[in-house]
Amino acid sequence: MAGRSWAVRLHSGTEDRRTLDMLAHSVAQEAGLHSQGQIGQLEGYYLFCDVPEGKAEGVASAARVLATHPSVAWHSQEQLLRRAKRSMAFNDPHYPKQWHLHNEVTAGMDINVTGVWEHNITGLGVTVVVVDDGVQHTLQDIQPNYSPEGSYDLNSNDPDPMPHPDARSDNHHGTRCAGEIAAVPNNSFCAVGVAYGSRVAGIRVLDGPLTDSMEAVAFNKHYQVNDVYSCSWGPDDDGRTVDGPHPLGKAALQHGVIAGRRGFGSIFVVASGNGGQYEDDCNYDGYANSIYTVTIGAVDETGKMPFYAEKCASMLAVTFSSGDRQLRSIVTSDWSLQHGTGCTEGHTGTSAAAPLAAGMVALMLQVRPCLTWRDVQNIIVYTAKKYEDKDAEWKTNGAGFSHSHQHGFGLLNAWRLVNAAKVWESVPFLVSYQSPVLKEGKPILIAPSDLSLTWNVTASELQHSGMQTLEHVAVTVTMTHPRRGSVEIVLVCPSGMSSVIGARRSMDVDRSGYTDWTFSTGALSLGILKQWKLTLYGSSLTFEEVKERQRIVEDSMGGQYLNSSYSLPCPPGLDIPPEVFSPLTSNILKYLLFLGCVAFFGSLYYILEVVMAQLELSRLCRYRQMGRGSLEDGAELQMHPVADLEDQVPLITTDRPT
C-alpha cells in the first residue's frame, strides 16, 4: 500500500462524522482514489488509496489534485517505515551464555524476565543488600549500581564491605551474588543482572568470627535503605547439624519484617542449603524454616532437583542454578582480586538461586513499593508454577495450591511475579493461634510403631484469633533420643494432608535430641518426647477471597496492567528511627574481655581489702572487750549504728536550709 496511498487532512468547517465521510469520498473520487475511511481516532484525517487499475501517471495526477483541492488542508504520500522490535540485546560478552535469563536451548527453562525488561521494569528505586563475605564494589559490572548508603563491614567495623584476599582465594561469594542481582548491562563487560536497574549494597560479615549480635546487626543494618536482604548461607550442610539464628538473630528477623522498609517489612531471601548428598533437610536450618524468610531452593536447567539440593516442608519456591557437570552453571560477575577475572561461568548451588529470587523481588517492588513481607510471600505462592518432575511429590491443599518438599510451590517466573504485584492488594495482618505447652513424657516407639499425638483446635478458638486462612504451621519439640537422625516427625492435617516436617538423616547420630526446636509446616526408634507445642499462623482472608485473588492474578498475566499509568494506591510508610544497634566485633570482644579481666581483678582486690579490714576490726573489738584499752594513747574506737548516719547526712530532703 505504501507509495500508492495518501494520508489526507480535510478542512470543512464541520466536525460531523457523516459529513466528513461524504466529503472524503468526494475528494478521493476527484483524485482518482478510494477513501478507506478515517485514520483511527484522528478527526478529519483520512486514508486515500490508489484504485487497483491505477497507473503511474494516475499517481502523479492524484498528487496534483490533492495539492490544489480547497478541502484538503494537508496530505502526504505514505512511505514504508523501518522499525525494529524492542527485543533485549546487550553487548555484554557473556550475556548469550546466561541461559537462566533467556534459555534458547530448552524452551521455558529460564526465569522469563525479558518481557518484564521490555516494559522498563528493571528494579529501579529498589536496593538489594548481599549479606556475605563482602562485595567488590569497584568492579565495573557493579560500581554504577553500588549503594554505599546500604553497605557496611561488620568484620572490620567500617563502612566499606570490600572483600579481603585470603589464603584460599574464595572470598568471591558475595561479589558473584551481587552480580547476579544488579550487574550493569551494555558496558561490554561480563554479564547482566536480573534487576540491572536496582542498586546493590554489601554487608561483610562472613569473613571472620561471627557472633549472635553481629548477625542481628546484619539483618537490620540500614533497613530503611535496603529493601531486600539476600543471604546465601546458613548452618553447616553436613546432614547432622541442627542450628539457626540465636535469640538476637531471631529478634532481628522479627524486627526487620515489622520496622524495615518504613513498616512494610524487610524481605529476607535465604538459600535452602547444599546438603542434599548428605541427606540433609532444610527444616533443620532455622533460617530456612523461619516464617519471616523466603526460602529458595534450586533446580538445574532441565528443571530437575540437583544432587546437592535439600528438600523440606518449609521450601517456598525454586529457581535455576547449576546441576551435573554436563549441565551449565550460572554466569555472573566475579571478583578481580587474587585469581579472579571479574567474570565467571561457574557460580553454583542454592547460593546462586537465592540472589536470582532476590532480584525478582526487586522487580516486584519497583511496580508496587508498598508490598509487605507477607505480600511477597503470598505472591510467590500464587504465581509459582508447578511442573512435571517424576521426583517431585506434589500435594494439593484445600485452597488449590500445589506444594512439594522438592520444589516448594513451584518455579519462580518473573513475568508472573511482576504482573501479580501490579494488581495485588495487601493481605490482612498476620494472626496466630498457639496451643499450650503439652507435657507428654511419652516413649518414642521403635519402627514400624509410632507415637501419635493429637491437638484439637476448635472453630471458636480460631474465630477468637481471627484466623480464616492458614499460612504456616510450626511445631516446637523437646525430646531425647540416642540417635536423633532416626526420628521422623510428620504433621497430619484434619483433611488428611500430611507433611514430613522432621525427616530422617542417616548422618545425624547426635544423642541430645531436640530442645525447643521449631519445625515449620508437620513411626518415630526409642526415646522420650518430653513436650511439644503447636503454633498456627494465618490471616482473616476467607476461602472466597483467596479464590478471587487467584482469579485476579491469573487475569493479569496478559501484561495489560504493566502500563505505568495503572497503579493501585499505596499507603504511606511509617517514620521509623534509624537503627541504633552496634555490632560486637572481634576487636570489641577483645576489649570487653580486657575490661572484664580488669573488673574481675579489681573486684578481687576490693574483696581482699574488705576481708582484711574486717579482720582488723574484729581484733580491735576483742581488745576492747578484754579491757585492754586502746591500742594507742588518746585513741578511742567509736562505732555508730548505720541508722544514726541518716540524721547526719540526709540523701533526699524537703527541708529548707537554715
Look at residue 332 in the predicted model and tell me its pLDDT: 97
pLDDT band at 244 (very low <50, low <70, confident <90, very high): very high
**Whether residue 403 has pLDDT greater than 50:** yes
- Look up residue 501 and give its DSSP letter: E
List the one residue out of 167, 128, 124, 134 whose CA is nearest residue 150: 128
Cell of 259: 520496622
3 state SS of 420: helix
For residues 492 and 65, the model is more confident at 65
**Whether residue 557 has pLDDT greater than 50:** yes
Can you tell me the distance from the alpha carbon of 202 to that of 230, in angstroms, rounded to the nearest whole number? 10
- CA 78 to chain CA centroid, nearest Å: 52
- Please report which helix (H) or strand (E) contains residue 407, including its range: none
pLDDT band at 639 (very low <50, low <70, confident <90, very high): very low
Look at residue 308 in the predicted model and tell me its pLDDT: 95
Cell of 196: 540491572
Cell of 234: 546458613
Can you tell me the distance from the alpha carbon of 525 to that of 68, in angstroms, rounded to the nearest whole number? 101
Q: Spell out where 236-363 has E strands.
A: 267-271, 293-299, 317-320, 330-333, 343-347
- Please name the fold of domain 98-417: Rossmann fold (3.40.50)
Cell of 344: 565467571
Can you tell me the distance from the alpha carbon of 541 to that of 472, in angstroms, rounded to the nearest whole number? 14
pLDDT band at 201 (very low <50, low <70, confident <90, very high): very high
Look at residue 508 in the predicted model and tell me its pLDDT: 67
pLDDT band at 581 (very low <50, low <70, confident <90, very high): very low
pLDDT band at 422 (very low <50, low <70, confident <90, very high): very high
Can you tell me the distance from the alpha carbon of 151 to that of 136, in angstroms, rounded to the nearest whole number? 12
List the one residue out of 321, 412, 424 whose CA is nearest residue 365: 424
pLDDT band at 655 (very low <50, low <70, confident <90, very high): very low
**Whether residue 280 has pLDDT greater than 50:** yes
- 347 near 191, Cβ under 8 Å? no
Cell of 253: 528477623
For residues 235 and 490, the model is more confident at 235
How much of the chain exceeds pLDDT 70, in percent? Answer: 84
Can you tell me the distance from the alpha carbon of 99 to that of 111, in angstroms, rounded to the nearest whole number? 9
For residues 360 and 482, the model is more confident at 360
Place of cell 576483742: 622
351 part of the active site = yes
Per-residue pLDDT tens over the stretch 85-123: 656 689 999 999 999 999 999 888 999 999 999 999 999
Mean pLDDT in residue range 619-625: 59
- 646 near 652, Cβ under 8 Å? no
Long-range CB pairs of 587-592, under 8 A, 24+ apart, other chains included: 587/157, 588/157, 589/209, 589/211
- 154 near 203, Cβ under 8 Å? yes
For residues 573 and 628, the model is more confident at 573
Tell me the torsion sign for CA atoms 321, 301, 267, 126. positive
64 CB-contact burial (10 Å; exposed 0-12 / middle 13-18 / buried 19+): exposed
**Whether residue 61 has pLDDT greater than 90:** no
- CA distances 226 to 38, 229, 262, 266, 310, Å, are 53, 7, 11, 8, 28
Can you tell me the distance from the alpha carbon of 523 to that of 585, in angstroms, rounded to the nearest whole number? 45
Per-residue pLDDT tens over the stretch 307-345: 999 999 899 999 999 998 889 999 999 998 888 899 999
Place of cell 521490555: 118
Look at residue 74 in the predicted model and tell me its pLDDT: 94
- CA 395 to chain CA centroid, nearest Å: 25
List the one residue out of 107, 108, 183 whose CA is nearest residue 145: 183
Q: Give 49-99 as a 3 state SS string.
A: EECCCCCHHHHHHHHHHHHHCCCEEEEEECCCCCCCCCCCCCCCCCHHHCC
172 part of the active site = no
**Whether residue 629 has pLDDT greater than 60:** no
Mean pLDDT in residue range 185-196: 97
User: Looking at 143-147, 222-226, 374-378, 647-651, which range is the least confident one?
Assistant: 647-651
Cell of 464: 477468637
Look at residue 123 in the predicted model and tell me its pLDDT: 98
- CA 307 to chain CA centroid, nearest Å: 24
121 CB-contact burial (10 Å; exposed 0-12 / middle 13-18 / buried 19+): buried
Can you tell me the distance from the alpha carbon of 535 to that of 273, in angstroms, rounded to the nearest whole number? 25
**Whether residue 437 has pLDDT greater than 60:** yes
Catalytic residue among 50, 92, 110, 132: 132
Look at residue 182 in the predicted model and tell me its pLDDT: 98
List the one residue out of 362, 289, 356 whose CA is nearest residue 329: 356
List the one residue out of 169, 199, 165 whose CA is nearest residue 181: 199
Highest mean predicted confidence (pLDDT) among 134-143, 239-248, 272-281, 603-612: 134-143
Per-residue pLDDT tens over the stretch 467-524: 888 888 888 888 777 777 777 778 877 777 777 777 777 676 666 666 665 666 523 3
The architecture CATH gives domain 5-77: 2-Layer Sandwich (3.30)
- For 339-360, give one letter per residue: b (16+ CB within 10 A) or e: ebebbbeebbbbbbbbbbbbbb
The architecture CATH gives domain 434-539: Sandwich (2.60)
Mean pLDDT in residue range 262-291: 93
- CA distances 382 to 154, 399, 413, 554, Å, are 37, 11, 11, 9
pLDDT band at 643 (very low <50, low <70, confident <90, very high): very low
Cell of 64: 496534483
439 CB-contact burial (10 Å; exposed 0-12 / middle 13-18 / buried 19+): exposed
List the one residue out of 259, 267, 264, 292 whose CA is nearest residue 369: 264
pLDDT band at 3 (very low <50, low <70, confident <90, very high): low
Catalytic residue among 173, 222, 347, 481: 173
166 part of the active site = no
Question: Which residues, at least 6 apart from 198, have a Cβ–Cβ distance to it below 8 Å?
Answer: 122, 123, 124, 125, 126, 127, 128, 145, 181, 182, 359, 362, 366
3 state SS of 541: coil
Look at residue 567 in the predicted model and tell me its pLDDT: 81
**Whether residue 33 has pLDDT greater than 80:** yes
For residues 384 and 436, the model is more confident at 384
Strands 293-299, 152-153: pairing is: unpaired
pLDDT band at 289 (very low <50, low <70, confident <90, very high): very high
**Whether residue 648 has pLDDT greater than 50:** no
pLDDT band at 631 (very low <50, low <70, confident <90, very high): very low
**Whether residue 637 has pLDDT greater than 70:** no
Look at residue 591 in the predicted model and tell me its pLDDT: 66
Q: What count of other Cβ atoms lies within 10 Å of the Cβ of residue 228?
A: 32
Highest mean predicted confidence (pLDDT) among 214-218, 276-280, 506-510: 214-218
**Whether residue 360 has pLDDT greater than 70:** yes
- Please report which helix (H) or strand (E) contains residue 199, including its range: strand 199-204
Look at residue 262 in the predicted model and tell me its pLDDT: 95
- Please report which helix (H) or strand (E) contains residue 528, including its range: strand 527-539
Residue extents of the structural domains in the chain: 5-77, 98-417, 434-539, 592-623
- 342 near 141, Cβ under 8 Å? yes
Catalytic residue among 351, 404, 520, 556: 351
**Whether residue 642 has pLDDT greater than 50:** no
- Look up residue 564 and give its DSSP letter: T
Torsion-angle region of residue 358: left (phi > 0), alpha (psi -120 to 50) or beta? alpha
pTM of structure:
0.76
Q: What is the mean pLDDT of the chain?
A: 84
Can you tell me the distance from the alpha carbon of 184 to that of 476, in angstroms, rounded to the nearest whole number? 45
Cell of 41: 481516532
Q: What count of other Cβ atoms lies within 10 Å of the Cβ of residue 471?
A: 20
Highest mean predicted confidence (pLDDT) among 36-45, 46-55, 561-570: 36-45
- 18 near 9, Cβ under 8 Å? no
